[in-house]
Structure 1
Amino acid sequence: MSRNDALRSARLRAGWRSADAAAAGLQAHGQRLLDDPHFTVSARTWRRWEGPRPGWPSEETALVLHDALGRWPEDLGFTVPPGWIRPGHHEEAGLRVTRLLDVTAAALAPGPLAPQQVDPALVDYFQSQLEGHYRADMLLGPHDLIGTLGPQYQLIDKLTRSATGETRRGLLRVGAAYAALVGWLYQDAGDLSAAAFWRGITQEAALRARDPHLIGYALVNSAQVRTDLGDGAGVVDLCEAALDDPGVVPKIRVMAMQQQAHGASLLRDRASVDRLIDGADRLLPQVTDDLPWGNACRRTPGYLEVQRATCYGRLGLGAEASALWTQVLDVVPGTARRDRGVYMARHATAAAASQEPEQAVEIAREAATIAVETGSARMRRELVTLERVMRPWQDAPVGRALAEALAPVTEGS
């Protein structure tokens, strides 16, 4: 067949007279079903689905297609991948949303709770779990880990309400670290409202613990959300507040300076980007504290060059950003798969911005595979940015190659 007649017939039965109407209808249906305003389907994608090589939709899109048209993708002319198992029902996406909402509700449990004796050793116990969670963050998608951390935070909060003295402050400190990680996972999952909520929980716990280092950490965490919101002035304000305390450990200063550089890049201020990252680089050898949180600056290879390359890409400095990404990716371990995928997506965008579309497509292929495996909304956003930068070539063979490479990510992402 020269076209996918099965999908076309289903479209017409649904009352969608054109690919544009079908894409708009399926997008609206998916946003309602998944309670996800970011679910999108383009008319271009729908037209390809009705072509001779429709490919295979993402899992969420398959669920939406079934709910909207009453048929699974293999009955709609799509190319069935090896190992596809038809779901028994289409409630999985809704259940996932419910589970994530339950995690956030755990932070708002009404009190007071029944009092209990709290052993001070529990502070060390929860603190010892953090490093494992940070490692898991590098290996898993955000959804699975959120479900693990939520109950642990709920238990810490319950114990905090009964504890007294230094034990209480210790639990507040470790609770702030857990809340910060949950906030980051929501940010990676693309839910900035929940991320901002958990950043607020982090800051509240840090203030209650009266820990200046943790307060600075919480401010930088909030600045991260502001960066994703595109609020350069907000990022700068929060980072300057974190840097106001001359007594905070060098790690906080490094974190605040590099995040402020992101704010400067949003404000189109390259000179400040370089000044801040160069200053953070001079401080990095002084990061010797034993605090269990905020250690990405010494755990991540090429940490500050990652920030510089990201800022350069945001400033439109494609060639300079691309050169930096090449250096960074040479030292990123394979175990840091999700970070590697984000970096590759940014590298591809930088290559496209420097008029190297073939290189951009080559890099994007692996990034798209990682995005599907990890479910990272952050990575999907980077690939959407790549699509936008590649628009001058969208009708050329290299543009069609990019669309094919990104299809598993962009369809219903």
Structure 2
Amino acid sequence: MEVHAVQQPIHFGQELRRLRISSNLSLTDLAKLVHYSKGQLSKVERGLKAPSRDLVRLCDVKLGAGGALARLVPVSSDPPADLTTTDDADKKEVWLMRLSLDGQSWFQPIGRRQVLSLGAMSVAGMGIGVTGGSSGAKAALGTGSESVLEASRALFDQYRRLGQIAHPTVVLPALVAQTHTLREVAAEAAPRVRRGLLRLGSRYAEYAGWLVQESGNDEGALWWTRLAVELATAGGDRHLASYGLVRRALITMYRQDAAQTVGLARQAQTGGTPPRIRGLAAQREAQGHAIACDYDACMSALDRSRSLLAMEKADQDEPAIGTTNLPDPVAMITGWCLYDLGRPDEAAALLDRELGRLAPQAVRARVRFGVRRALAYAAAGEVDHACALTRDLLGDLVTVGSATITSDLRTLARMLNRYPKNPAVRDLSPELSAALRIVAL
């Protein structure tokens, strides 16, 4: 029997050393380029220390590996959850928003059988709106349906503004109530108005899903996204299902799952989906390619996004899908991607420019991309400036409360911990630790 030799996987440290030597760089030279100590690099090359994702990206770029080094280090050892298909398990339960007297709110799953066993009165006592009512009440709902649609449309823009400056727990109760109201009124409205109510309800549900993700509940975010798709479909809008894929890709992106992020985003760009949704999906695809350190694919997706968004025709009757707070969303996402691609200097310069263009009320967006800018400066070795930028953001981060932004902030904290003797790091450390504790509550 013929025996074939089994090729062993290349160790990252071995390949790093090979590329460094072939580039005529000493450990000291490479340490200066990537802003890591010579000792840390030596341990990584010898397999004594696992490389951080930041180090992997920087070495890949500085040594011209074209993503080859990055592919040797998996982003996560945990198998990712499959978000490419819809799980029917959520249909067996409902999500309740529980409100306490002190103003706090949170989501809690409860099985449909449990809801039925509790009975209508018990469920109402738990805070669930119970469908029903007298025929007179239903008739009143139908009569005022157009007014409800008009008022709810105006309110939606206000809730979007509020979501930029307030904690998710402040905004979510109103979004949940509005979604429920629009569904109730739609049931008694004339067909034309019913479609408008359901489509607007889908936007409320989609926005609620995003804020639920911001509060740190991915499962709840997916539940609300599925509800949004159901409402949109019932209202004659079959395109929101594609945007639902973009929302799912946002969750996989924050999990650093490049393959699923790209796969979901590409799926959202198929068929007759409107240009805006395809443009937003192309941005998410670019972010997935950036996680994988694939520069060419990332830039190609960003170019495609810009072309698609330029084709958009604004619909004054319905809220725009996706963020409306970025003057040039493609440029801002490019800055985001450049950091993941191991090009922190370019990322910092671009994010500097784009953050300066944000409106003052876009607080959540400013903190999100501001933390990313601080990460870029820290990765580029400008630690003092990174600390100054971070300090300016901590108060607003606590105010808006974002689990997704906090994930970047934790990465930044680990990066700054490499400089324990730096005075700026020492001064910032207590404030940074306190902010991380508060947002984790």
TM-score, structure 2 as length reference: 0.66
Name the SS for the 1:289 alignment partner.
coil
The reply on whether 1:252 has 2:271 as its aligned counterpart is no
- Find 2:230's aligned residue among 188, 200, 204: 204
The reply on whether 1:113 has 2:132 as its aligned counterpart is yes
Aligned pair count reads 320
> Who is 2:171 aligned against?
145
376-385 vs 127-136, which moves further: 376-385
Shift in Å, 1:257: 0.9
> Who is 1:348 aligned against?
374
| Structure 2 CA distance for aligned equivalents of residues 336 and 273 of structure 1 | 26
Q: Could you tell me whether the CA contact under 8 Å between 2:384 and 2:425 is conserved in 1?
A: no
377-386 vs 139-148, which moves further: 377-386
> Who is 2:406 aligned against?
380
> Who is 1:99 aligned against?
105
The reply on whether 1:264 has 2:297 as its aligned counterpart is no
- Find 1:182's aligned residue among 199, 203, 208: 208
| Structure 2 CA distance for aligned equivalents of residues 254 and 409 of structure 1 | 35
> Who is 2:436 aligned against?
410
Identity of aligned residues (%): 25
- Find 1:160's aligned residue among 168, 176, 186: 186
Cα RMSD for the two superposed structures: 2.9
| Structure 1 CA distance for aligned equivalents of residues 282 and 106 of structure 2 | 32
Q: Could you tell me whether the CA contact under 8 Å between 2:371 and 2:390 is conserved in 1?
A: yes
- 2:106 maps to amino acid: L
The reply on whether 1:219 has 2:245 as its aligned counterpart is yes
Name the SS for the 1:411 alignment partner.
helix
- Which has the higher Rg, Structure 1 or Structure 2? 2
| Structure 2 CA distance for aligned equivalents of residues 97 and 273 of structure 1 | 43
Shift in Å, 1:98: 6.4
- 1:339 maps to amino acid: A
Higher helix share: 1
> Who is 1:367 aligned against?
393
- Find 2:422's aligned residue among 387, 396, 399: 396
TM-score, structure 1 as length reference: 0.70
| Structure 2 CA distance for aligned equivalents of residues 364 and 233 of structure 1 | 31
Residues 109-149 of structure 1, C-alpha deviations (whole Å, 9 max, x = no match): 68763462324413333223211111111222211011221
Specify every segment of 5 or more residues in structure 2 that has no aligned partner in the other structure, as ranges: 1-97, 111-122
| Structure 2 CA distance for aligned equivalents of residues 386 and 259 of structure 1 | 22
- 1:263 maps to amino acid: G
Q: Could you tell me whether the CA contact under 8 Å between 1:139 and 1:336 is conserved in 2?
A: yes
| Structure 2 CA distance for aligned equivalents of residues 295 and 200 of structure 1 | 16
C-alpha spacing 1:199/1:97, structure 2 compared with 1 (3 Å): farther
> Who is 2:157 aligned against?
131
Shift in Å, 1:94: 7.1
C-alpha spacing 1:374/1:112, structure 2 compared with 1 (3 Å): closer
C-alpha spacing 1:308/1:199, structure 2 compared with 1 (3 Å): same
Shift in Å, 1:394: 2.6
C-alpha spacing 1:151/1:103, structure 2 compared with 1 (3 Å): farther
Shift in Å, 1:159: 2.5
| Structure 2 CA distance for aligned equivalents of residues 388 and 328 of structure 1 | 26
C-alpha spacing 1:112/1:334, structure 2 compared with 1 (3 Å): closer
